[in-house]
Homo-oligomer: A and B are copies of this chain.
Amino acid sequence: MSMADGPGTQAHVGEALLYLTDEQLRQGIEAMYFAYRAFTADPDRILQGLDYGRAHHRAVHFINIVPGTTVNNLLSILGVTKQSLNRVLRTLIEDGLVESRVGRADKRERHLFLTEAGKELEHRLSDAQRARMRAAYRQVGPEAVAGFRKVLEAMMDPEMRRHYSGLREVRG
């Protein structure tokens, strides 16, 4: 199976697997590329000029989802180094968007929360992103959306899937 397959291996099998053609897969790959660019364009536009970037958006997003998360936990969700995250967190804390509270049980840990200002930025960013996704969802209907979610979940690494809130019981 996998990479040893020549191009178009599935093309001769029959109509039932036509969606597994190399050409079909390539179109899916391009669709991911262009859609992801659109997906990030709106928040990026808001962030630019605030001295913030995509990394700040991600931090604010996940602190909002899991308030009180530790730095280490955030690291494993975001999959970056602590130095990289620290640079982002520092500016967010300095600017009063994120609060870092020393842990009670373990004082080494820092628990992260959004301030009111932080929540406001998070809302602006996610509103923009949701607007685009809502428009797309409306266009295509519930069945397509269900398929969309299924494929994305199947594409994730198991490591990442653990962090994916769609499969968590949290808040639901």
* Residues in chain A within 8 A of chain B (CB atoms): 1-3, 16, 19-20, 22-23, 25-39, 41, 58, 65, 79, 124, 126-140, 142-157, 160-161, 163-166, 171-172
Contact = CB atoms under 8 A, between A and B. Distances in A.
B28 A148 contact: yes
B149 A29 contact: no
Contacts of A164: 30-31, 34
A165 B30 contact: yes
B150 A3 contact: no
Contacts of A151: 35, 136-137, 140, 144-145, 147-148
The 4 A-B residue pairs whose C-beta atoms are closest, nearest first, are A147-B147, A144-B147, A136-B154, A148-B151
Contacts of A135: 154
B136 A41 contact: no
B147 A143 contact: yes
Contact of A130 (B26, B33, B58, B148): B26
A27 B152 CA distance: 11
A157 B20 CA distance: 26
Given A2-B131, A3-B131, A155-B38, A27 B137 contact: no
A127 to B, nearest CB: 4
Contacts of A16: 142
Contacts of A153: 31, 35
A58 B153 CA distance: 24
A44 to B, nearest CB: 12
Contacts of A37: 79, 157, 160
Nearest to A43: B29
